[in-house]
Amino acid sequence: MGTYEKGRVERGVGYVKGNFLAGLDLPEFAALNPALRLWLESVANVRLHRETHRRPVDLWREEQAHLQAVNPRPFDVGRVLTLRANRQFRVSFEGNRYSVPARFAGSQVTVKVYPDRLCVYHGEELIARHGRSFERHRDIEDPDHPKALLAQRRHARDAHVLKRFLALSPLAAKYHAGLLERRGNAISHVRKIVALAEIHGDDPVLRAMTDALAFEAFSSEYIAHLIEARERKLPEASPLLLMRRQDALDLELPPADLSAYANLTGDDNGND
């Protein structure tokens, strides 16, 4: 703005102060806008301007035909930084850590910093967007960013457990096929059966699995039931304890069958 324009602008401000705001008890700003709009339409824009000698409302109609649309893509005012995501898929900025998707751990990324947010790009792809924090030592994570890593680790654990299960016996592959066919969560049963093998040993589990295959019973609960039933020991019979000798005389025994002796003597009538 040139010095010759400064006075013109200030005179416009003075006109508003002296005509619209003079003696006005200012209400809340939200209520001030409708009052200002009414004043512009009824007073300021319909008066004869001292310098142009024309009404501002008429000049505005002429100017509208020459106006161009505002650029729909505003100028990007973000501060651009080149950072590297660490092994915990975080980028550090102003003492805080912001997450990126786990697959970009160790990658170089571009961070655009705005007053209210951070946008992280890998090449031209926007991979993360966070609200900017002005605190310190905060870890800001998008809950979706670690999901792929957690799924990968879970898959690796499941693969290790399945390998251990199949190593029990050639029958394990057949039992696993039955679990896949009959059970919606086959890997859960595989984990439990492997845990039973760690507790009871491979042989009891293999024996129970063989019997379960014969009955087409595909369940970790069934395997556990068979193992428990076979390991359950019945209590040994204890000797009869008689407190007094007289108790032995009170025992009543059934009469003996002597017919077998009659057959030895050849006497069917039982005579001597």
pLDDT in tens, the chain (272 residues): 556 566 666 777 888 888 887 777 776 777 788 888 888 899 989 998 888 899 999 999 999 989 888 877 878 889 999 999 999 999 999 999 999 999 999 999 999 999 999 999 999 999 999 999 999 999 999 999 998 888 888 889 999 999 999 999 889 999 999 999 888 889 999 999 999 999 999 999 999 999 999 989 999 999 999 999 888 865 666 666 655 655 555 667 778 777 766 666 555 554 54
The boundaries of the domain holding residue 156 are 150-231
* Pair 164, 194: CB distance under 8 Å: yes
CB pairs under 8 A, 24+ apart, for 170-177?
171/206, 171/209, 171/210, 171/213, 172/209, 174/213, 175/209, 175/212, 175/213, 175/218
Residues 60 and 104 placed together within one structural domain of the fold: no
- Do 167 and 225 share a domain, yes or no? yes
Residues 58 and 130 in one domain: no
3-state SS track over the chain: CCHHHHHHHHHHHHHHHHHHHCCCCCCCHHHHHHHHHHHHHHCHHHCCCCCCCCCHHHHHHHHHCCCCCCCCCCCCCCEEEEEECCCCCEEEECCEEEECCHHHCCCEEEEEECCCEEEEEECCEEEEEEECCCCCCCEECCCCCCHHHHHHHHHHHHHHHHHHHHCCCCHHHHHHHHHHHHCCCHHHHHHHHHHHHHHHCHHHHHHHHHHHHHCCCCCHHHHHHHHHHHHCCCCCCCCCCCCCCHHHHCCCCCCCCCHHHHHHHCCCCCCC
State the pLDDT at residue 270.
47
Instruction: Give a yes or no: residue 111 inside a domain.
Output: yes
Give the separation between CA 46 and CA 8, rounded to whole angstroms: 19
Q: What is the pLDDT of residues 176-219, one digit of tens each?
A: 999 998 888 899 999 999 999 999 999 999 999 999 999 899 99
Residue 237 covered by a domain: no
In a domain, 137, yes or no: yes
How many domains does the chain fold into? 3
Q: What is the pLDDT of residues 199-210, one digit of tens each?
A: 999 999 999 999
For residue 258, what pLDDT is reported?
73
- The residue out of 126, 145, 164 marking a domain boundary is 145
What pLDDT is attached to residue 7?
A: 66
- Reading the block at residue 120, the tokens are 């992280």
| Residue 265 counted as domain residue | no
Q: What is the mean pLDDT of the chain?
A: 85
Asked whether residue 258 is domain-assigned, the answer is: no
| Residues forming a β-bridge with 98 | 91, 140
Last residue of a domain, one of 145, 173, 194: 145
- Provide CB contacts within 8 A for 252, sequence distance 6+: none
Q: Are strands 96-99 and 139-140 parallel, antiparallel or unpaired?
A: parallel
The sign of the CA dihedral 112, 113, 115, 119 is positive
What span, in angstroms and rounded, lies between the C-alpha atoms of 77 and 59? 34
Residue 182 lies in a domain: yes
Half-sphere exposure of 89 (CA within 13 A, CB side): 20
Q: Are residues 160 and 227 in the same domain?
A: yes
pLDDT at 24: 74
